[in-house]
Structure 1
Amino acid sequence: MAIRNDKKLNTVKLLALDMINEAESGNPGIVLSASPILYSLYLNHLNTISKIPKWINRDRFIMSCGHGSAMYYSMLHLAGYNLSLEDLKRFRQIDSFTPGHPEMDPELGIEATTGPLGQGIATAVGVAMAERYYENLSKKVDPKSKLIDFYTYVLCSDGDLDEGISYEALAFAAKQKLNKLIVLYDSNDMNADGPTYNSTIEDIEDRFDALDFNVIYVKNGHNLNEVSSAIKEAKRSKYPSIIIFKTILGKDLKKENNNILHAGGLDEKDIIDLKVKYGLPKESFSYDEKIKEEIISSIDKRVSKKYEAWLKEYDKAKKSRNPDLVYMINLLENDQFIIDFDSNNYKINNDYFEDGRLSNQKVLNFISPKTKFFLGGSSNIKTLTKAYFTKSGISSSENPLAKNIAFGIREHAMAGILGGMALCGLRVFSSTFLAFADYMKPAMRVSAMMNLPITYIFTHDSISIGQDGPTFQPIEQLTMLRSIPNMKVFRPCDIKEIIGSWEYILKNKGPSCLIISKEKMIVNKHTNGKYVQYGAYIVRKEKEKLSGVLIATGSEVAIALKAAEELFTQGIDLRVVSMPCMELFLKQTPIYEEKLFPKEVKIITLEAGSSMIWNRFATNKDCAIGVDEFGISGKKDDVLKYLNFDYNSILYRIKKNFD
């Protein structure tokens, strides 16, 4: 005789509560409000197979409300993923497979790292964008193709929808008509400080109706039949959907609907009382093994037929030998991004003199024809950043294979959406002004944790933008970006280094920032795109006796070279080192480092930004020449002089270190 659904659901809940109790940490409230949503999704709708966790046409589920991780791990364990009971017992312990918030591991059924509220929603939007792109690419070959045809579900909380990124991302999803995106909203009206009415006023139904979402309201989010019917209805929609499930935080506890349940608030007696109420074993982490067997069997029975039908599509695509389909399959299955791009193939005349943004645009358009899996966009300033494909249109529901994406003035969402696209194998880029990297930082940080291959292009990279004033003049941003673990920050000095930066980015995994000047940039005779991979290299050797080493990046390399030549006539013989990527240089051997920077030789650094991070190289603080105060509005030359960063001031500051 089959076990009742409510007993299986209650097992999901109690395993999660046991985890929280064992760890003495976690959020029990969401476990008892949202478990019916998650259970119904996995049992009745989510097309995934625990034994084939990386099936390329699986439905994707993103747990945006990462504080519900205990419930998530419990569900994955009972659905047959490779999370053992021992793993559940080690919840929130170091080096466990069950950390405090979900961390990407597709083998375990965890699609994305989440935790910062709202960002999982943007990630889900990106996944839905990638699905649409792949689906339409396969249908271009075969209009009847079902090779890629999956839904993206995201579970969110009241807190997720409080965050601005959620509405930025969902407004974008509405514009794109991402009808395979389904938002599952656990609406329990309670945050960590108390009722949500203390801080919010909007009507969520009206808000999403205005966005042209398909809005479904479920009065009792604890009723499995109502939950399942709502999800079924959402899958029929021609628009993105949000299902508002009205739930009760900590339902069935004596303390239900109490904000203390957001951060513990339970003791062992509470859990035992609930187990008695549900008719489950009182012992911690104890349940009838038949429950797990039946959950796995139900899911496999529902999905196996779909998988068998899909395998025919897969074999057909493989046999077609269509290069786009074969490449797409390899990309999704093996994360194999292969591109024929060699910086040696691009010969640059020494009299080349061009705005750095235009040089970067040329390189982007060298790359574009070589692969269909390189896309990007801007926060609606592509005409200013110049980072776009000149021979492609704007991505939309009517033009889904266009490679330029108009994200709107939504930098935070842009970064989060790109994370979702990169999770699906696409190589993607964003572009905006460097000063606005601060808007993007939270999503960039999460993508860096996942080591996703995203390129963040930032233009207008220094105080030299002049009349826009201090709010647009970046000072501390380069230091901030370089401080993000796993992030590589490239600040090339000319088109050769731009090409070299892109060669490294395309042939390696992980997130990168590409900092591009809007100033016209000369070609430096001794720069070399191939040397970018070392992070730093010599662009001017000393002519006689070495007096010191001058490190520079970006536009300041040309200034350093000019200064070195002038100072040589005054008896100061400098070696000039271009350092396009500090992170790559710091990975080089001590032998290489000493080759550039001999011991006991004075080192001076030059960059139009905060000098803080350069103290690791500069001999002393006076040798770190930068800008350590906010800028000012004015003509470029006046601003540079005001901040002691015009050529004569730089020359004086370098020379002073040798007096």
Structure 2
Amino acid sequence: MNPDLIHSLNSLRILSVDMISYAKSGHPGICLGAAPIIFSLYTNHLKFDVKRPDWPNRDRFVMSAGHGSALLYAMLFMAGYDVSIDDLVEFRKLGSKTPGHPEYGKTPGVEVSTGPLGQGFANAVGMALGEKYLASLINEEIPKQKIINYYVYCLCSDGDLMEGVALEAASLAGHYALSNLIVLYDSNGITLDGALNNTYSENILQKFMDIGWEVDFVGDGNDVREIDKAIERAKVNRKPTLIEIKTVIGRGSSHEGENQVHGKPLTKEDMATVRKKYEINSNTLEITENAVRYVRKAVANRMKGVYEDWNKQFEFAKRNNPSLLLQKYLDFVETGNVGINFSSNNFKIQNNYSEELRESNSKIMNIVADRSKLFLGGSADVASSAHTSLYKDVEFSRKEPTGRNISFGLREHAMGAMLNGMALTGLKVFGSTFLSFSDYLKPAIRMTALMNLPVTYIFTHDSVGVGQDGPTHQPIEQLAMLRTIPNLIVFRPADINEVIGCWDFIVNNKKPVALILSKDEAHILDGTSGVNVSKGAYIVRKELQKIDAVLVSTGLDLTNTYLAGETLRAKGIDTRIVSMPSVELFLSQPIEYQNSVIPPNVKVITVEASSTLPWYRFASKGCAIGIDCFGMSGPKDAVLKQLGFDYDSIAAKIENCITNN
């Protein structure tokens, strides 16, 4: 190989392990073993512009093996991104541009936060699906267009491919023939605890062929030329491609090929050994100009005129195509605006309106869908029960790549991680399942919130009211779990007015949302408001004179709480009734507003058919009414009565809290 190439590649290796040694923390094994993969990709293949890191038609790279962050940051520096040697020195330090694992929004060139193995792989599948969808939309207006036509590359590890979420997503990628997805598998046969064959003996290439992928193999992971050839072959495939690249973890160190080098900095003696092996004589965290120049010159030559040609096509399409749809798509490409005009103020619902909340939600989300083709999503095989189909659209498929109903199948975790990838392409996306199954995708929801992505999770069948399906399908602790995730907005609306208010927030804010819905019929309640949902909580019915207690409730439980308040009023007990569709939004309001809704030093009683844990911050002692045990199988009314959550029981508990506490 070219001596300059070898020097540049080896400089990348040493620079990345220098970062780890200086930080006294990190994962040197992947840096020494997988450097040729990253080097080949960035130097010879990846389409990007360091001056415009957010260029819409750039190729995406996902470091699913997020523990290799030092390698990625060093490569971004060498490629010319706004990452300096000083930033590399700050690796893993508080507030640095180079955190311990890649974090979306902190480092130019980092497309997604990764670290939990397997999720980055699924994010990449979602990105590839998003590209395929958007490219197909524009193709309907400009056949064979090149405004959106990028690849999604992913570096994954042995550990990634042991995770269920990666295999769930891989199955869908093969099913949908996402040919724009190329996965580079760093196959070193080692995990944190030891040899891969201690726990894994599958033929991974055969497995991927069986689920609809093209596969390739590079026997020497140190041979940049062979890696290049494999990537070139993958680009012309009509299916997603997995390239297994055999590497040696910690190559050149005293523990090469051993698990000890996975997550522990090299010793001073070992650093001296690898420096000598790779003929790098620079000081710690220094690199020669020749090493950097080699990469930047190769990238500059390869990318010369690419962005400018793309921009000419883009501007030509803007000026010369009268299609309103195309202009909306081009505006989205340029600004990220999905173009949905939606306001609670534009809806007037009759006072006698009643229907299942999941059906109300279906109607409202289909109104949203009518206003923009950039709104799409699907379910984990429950669309017919959750009522989350976009009923004017077909299913996304190989033959219908502009279909907006995505069948994720029974792959909840992959659904969540793929939605994150789709959201990172700018699309407005949703996914749905039953609330009790939100546990399956909790890790993906956490990453949604961590990256502050505008993904909407729709969870139906929200309480023990599902009845005869029994405790496996009756959520108890799930609402509490969701409300503890930082940055996630959880809505539990009481009627169609509040459902409209939830969608007003979802459409007009770029925030992660969990929308919790009952499958039971909901009647319009006097005083509910879509406009007030954005405040998190508001007064539904005021007291007549003196407040004896404030009754706070959510969802369909607000109906029984309201009725109980009316009964108490007839007995001379004066209550204020508050709907709290979103705890998080209420707590984000000024304290003056919070106190105007729930005054200090007033008895507060909360009512919700789930764990009482989230309500102790509001409820007076002994006055959080909920369900803190698992449910049971039986007719709904019988289950509610047995659990003390039928109307009579709730009314009695409320009255007892007021009169006996």
Q: TM-score band, normalised by the shorter chain?
A: over 0.9
1:471 and 1:504 mapped to 2: Cα distance?
Answer: 31
The aligned residue for residue 646 of structure 2 is 646
Secondary structure of 1:263's partner? Answer: coil
- Displacement of 1:402 in angstroms is 0.9
Corresponding residue number in structure 2 for 1:220: 220
Shift, 1:6, TM fit: 1.1
Contact preservation (8 Å) 1:188, 1:246: yes
Q: Partners of 1:544 and 1:309 in 2: how far apart?
A: 71
Range moving further from structure 2, 47-56 or 430-439: 47-56
Cα deviation digits, residues 476-535 of structure 1 (max 9, x gap): 101111111110001000001000100011000110010011000001121110000111
Name the residue aligned to 2:482: 481
Contact 1:53 1:107 in 2 (8 A): no
**Gap regions ≥5 residues in structure 1:** none
Give the Cα–Cα distance (whole angstroms) in 2 for the partners of residues 401 and 83 of structure 1: 38
Q: Are 1:596 and 2:597 an aligned pair?
A: yes
* Residue 609 (1) aligns with residue 581 (2): no
Alignment partner, residue 534 of structure 2: 533
Q: Determine the structure 1 residue equivalent to 2:563.
A: 562
Matched, 1:583 2:584: yes
Q: CA deviation at 1:298?
A: 0.7
Instruction: Give the fraction of aligned pairs with identical amino acids, expressed as a percent.
Output: 46
Q: Is the 8 A contact 2:97 2:106 kept in 1?
A: no
Residue 109 of structure 1 aligns with which residue?
109
Tell me the distance in 2 between the aligned counterparts of 1:477 and 1:9: 49
Instruction: Say if 1:9 and 1:39, in contact at 8 Å, map to a contact too.
Output: yes
Partner SS state of residue 93, structure 1: coil
2:14 — aligned with what? 14
Q: Give CA-to-partner distance per residue, 1:289-327, whole Å, 9 cap, x none.
A: 122122112112102233232222111222135433333
Give the TM-score of the pair, scaled to structure 2. Answer: 0.98
TM-superposed deviation, 1:265: 5.1
In structure 1, the residue matched to 2:424 is: 423
The correspondence of residues 26-425 of structure 1 with structure 2, limited to 5 A, is 26-105=26-105, 108-264=108-264, 266-319=266-319, 320=321, 322-425=323-426
CA distance in 2, matches of 1:470, 1:242: 41
Task: Say which SS state the counterpart of residue 58 (structure 2) adopts.
Answer: coil
Would you say the 8 A contact 1:550–1:576 is kept in 2? yes
Amino acid at match of 1:393: V
Contact map agreement 1:53 1:106 (CA 8 A) in 2:
no
Cα separation, 1, equivalents of 2:606 and 2:192? 47
Structure 1 distance, partners of 2:12, 2:265, is 19
Q: Hey, what's the Cα distance between the residues in 1 that align with 2:331 and 2:160?
A: 34
Code of the residue aligned with 2:58 in structure 1: it is R
SS at match of 1:253: coil
**Cα deviation code 1:140-191 (max 9, x no counterpart):** 1110211100000000000000100000001011111100100110000000
The AA in structure 1 aligned to 2:133 is: Y
Distance apart, 1:233 and its partner CA: 0.4
What SS does structure 2 have at the residue aligned with 1:15? helix
The answer (yes or no) to whether the contact 1:272–1:282 under 8 Å persists in 2 is: no
Distance in 2 (CA, whole Å) between partners of 1:278 and 1:173 is: 39
Query: Alpha-carbon deviation of 1:638?
Result: 1.0
The CA distance in 1 between the partners of 2:99 and 2:325, in whole Å, is 38
Map 1:449-468 to 2 at 5 A.
449-468=450-469
Q: What's the Cα RMSD here?
A: 1.2
- Name the amino acid aligned to 1:345: N
Q: How many angstroms apart in 1 are the aligned matches of 2:461 and 2:255? A: 54
Q: Distance in 2 between matches of 1:599 and 1:27?
A: 52
Name the SS of the counterpart of 1:425 in structure 2. Answer: coil
Report the CA distance between 1:421 and its aligned residue: 0.5
Contact 1:104/1:111 (<8 A) preserved: yes
Q: Deviations over 1:367-402 (max 9, x none)?
A: 111111100100011000001111101001110111
In the TM superposition, what whole-angstrom CA distance separates every residue of 1:326-347 from its partner, at most 9, and x where no partner exists?
Answer: 3334434433333211112222
The superposition leaves residues 229-274 of structure 1 with CA deviations (integer Å, 9 ceiling, x where unpaired) of: 0000001100000000011111111210110111115112211221
Alpha-carbon distance in structure 2 between the residues aligned to 1:176 and 1:363:
29
Q: Distance in 2 between matches of 1:524 and 1:256?
A: 68
- The amino acid across from 2:105 in the alignment is D
* Distance in 1, Cα, partners of 2:397 & 2:607: 44
Q: Residues of 2 paired with 1:360 and 1:304: CA distance?
A: 49
> Whole-Å Cα distance in 1 between the matches of residues 140 and 634 of structure 2?
52
Q: Aligned partners of 1:304 and 1:3: how far apart in 2?
A: 24
In the TM superposition, what is the alpha-carbon distance from 1:224 to its structure 2 partner?
0.6
TM-score by length of 1: 0.98
CA deviation string 1:553-598 (max 9, x = no partner):
0001111110000111222111100001111111111211111122
Distance in 1 (CA, whole Å) between partners of 2:519 and 2:541 is 24
Cα distance in 1 for residues equivalent to 2:196 and 2:325: 49
Counterpart for residue 446 of structure 1:
447
Structure 2 residue ranges without an equivalent (≥5): none
* Deviation, structure 1 residue 365: 1.1
1-side partners of 2:133 and 2:444: how far apart? 22
CA distance in 2, matches of 1:175, 1:81: 36
Amino acid at match of 1:520: E
Q: Distance in 1 between matches of 2:176 and 2:106?
A: 27
Contact 1:430 / 1:456 at 8 angstroms: preserved in 2?
yes
Amino acid at match of 2:342: F
Aligned-pair CA distance for 1:107: 6.4
Aligned counterpart, 2:433:
432
